[in-house]
């Protein structure tokens, strides 16, 4: 029977074998990791029936489970409905399929509350192998959840041990103070359960403040993860390459809008501490 573990998002922030050639194994960027693809269409109902046998049908076509609403996928894009079930085949273990099930307890134009349950299922018979409940992951605060995606890039931790990721993107609604971010978590199979091993790394962030015509300041940061040999452990280290571009816009003497850009690059090395990767505070989402 698949193990079931519940983690509250507030506590999740506290959760923190040598075989590599002496080179970076792989760079993991957003295009390779995501591709914006949802492979649930046509299978979502069967998946939910196996994973939640007590779920009941609602009048609007959704399903109800223990006070939460489950929305079935109607599109092969992860951007169409952030509250719908999404699936991706796992290239590292093609006999398995990864599922993210938003469990929404409240949905409205002004507020959304809910969590996500991650499922690892048999690709053939859809039986659940592992599952992990992440409470609060779909709750909006000042920023709205715009998309959820499964990241199946090859996060090779050790021989025969590969992690997968979950990316959650949020956006603000202010035109004068634009804001957007995408946050990444990594998970690995451990026995009958799923274990969170990388907590809350912001891999894309953009924000700014301007007069909505020209003058203002903007900043955009992207972070790319690469798996590299560890000098102290049999589990790979993660190198995070951070690129930040800041732009200052001013109205010139000819009334043109002129921009001055500055780009900085930094690197961070994340090490496995036996239970997960420690993440510096300045790389995390601020709740």
pLDDT by residue (tens digit) across 42-77? 888 999 999 999 999 999 989 999 999 999 988 777
Q: Which of 22-26, 155-159, 188-192 has the lowest mean pLDDT?
A: 22-26
The pLDDT, as a whole number, for residue 285 is 84
Rounded CA separation 19/15 (Å): 26
Tell me what percent of the residues of the chain surpass a pLDDT of 90.
Answer: 71
The pLDDT, as a whole number, for residue 230 is 87
Rounded CA separation 72/230 (Å): 42
């Amino acid at each position: 029977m698949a193990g079931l573990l519940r983690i509250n998002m507030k506590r999740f922030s506290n959760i923190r074998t040598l075989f590599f050639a002496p080179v970076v194994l792989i760079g993991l960027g957003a295009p390779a990791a995501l591709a914006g693809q949802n492979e649930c269409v046509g299978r979502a109902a069967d998946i939910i029936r196996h994973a939640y046998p007590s779920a009941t049908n609602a009048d609007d076509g959704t399903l109800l489970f223990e006070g939460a609403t489950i929305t079935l996928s109607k599109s092969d894009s992860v951007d169409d409905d952030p509250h719908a079930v999404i699936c991706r085949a796992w290239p590292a273990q093609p006999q398995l399929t990864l599922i993210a099930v938003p469990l929404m307890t409240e949905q409205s134009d002004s507020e959304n509350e809910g969590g996500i349950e991650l499922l690892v299922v048999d690709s053939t018979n859809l039986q659940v192998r592992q599952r992990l409940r992440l409470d609060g992951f779909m709750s909006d605060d000042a920023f709205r959840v715009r998309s959820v995606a499964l990241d199946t890039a090859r996060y090779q931790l050790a021989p025969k041990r590969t992690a997968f990721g979950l990316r959650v993107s949020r956006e603000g609604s202010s035109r004068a103070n634009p804001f957007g971010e995408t946050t990444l978590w990594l998970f690995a199979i451990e026995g009958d359960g799923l274990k969170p091993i990388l907590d809350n790394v912001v891999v894309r962030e953009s924000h700014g403040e301007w007069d909505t015509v020209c003058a203002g300041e903007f900043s955009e940061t992207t972070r790319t993860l690469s798996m590299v040999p560890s000098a102290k452990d049999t589990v790979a280290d993660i190198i995070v390459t951070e690129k930040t571009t800041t732009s200052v816009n001013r109205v010139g003497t000819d009334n043109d809008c002129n921009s001055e850009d500055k780009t900085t690059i930094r690197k961070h090395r994340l090490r496995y501490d036996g239970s997960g990767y420690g993440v510096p505070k300045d790389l995390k989402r601020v709740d």
